[in-house]
């Protein structure tokens, strides 16, 4: 979990465009971020296994 201060700081417009940091919409984690879903890998897995992400299914072969 990210600190509330970090989430608020990253939500503001940065001074330079390269300072922008993508964060998970659910928990605020900055690493393991997936742009398509706007979630980190941990939240993605949790939601996908619960069937809360449309179009995502667990692969098996």
Binding residues, by number, are 24, 27, 40, 43
- The DSSP string of the chain is ---HHHHHHHHSPPSSGGG-----TTT---SSEETTTTEEHHHHHHHHHHT-STT------
Binding-site residue numbers for Zn(2+) are 24, 27, 40, 43
């Amino acid at each position: 979990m990210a600190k509330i201060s970090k989430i608020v700081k990253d939500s503001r417009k940065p001074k330079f465009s390269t300072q922008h940091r993508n964060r998970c919409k659910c928990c605020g984690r900055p690493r393991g971020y997936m742009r398509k879903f706007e979630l980190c890998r941990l939240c993605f897995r949790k939601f996908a296994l619960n069937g809360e992400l449309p179009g995502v299914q667990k692969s098996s072969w």
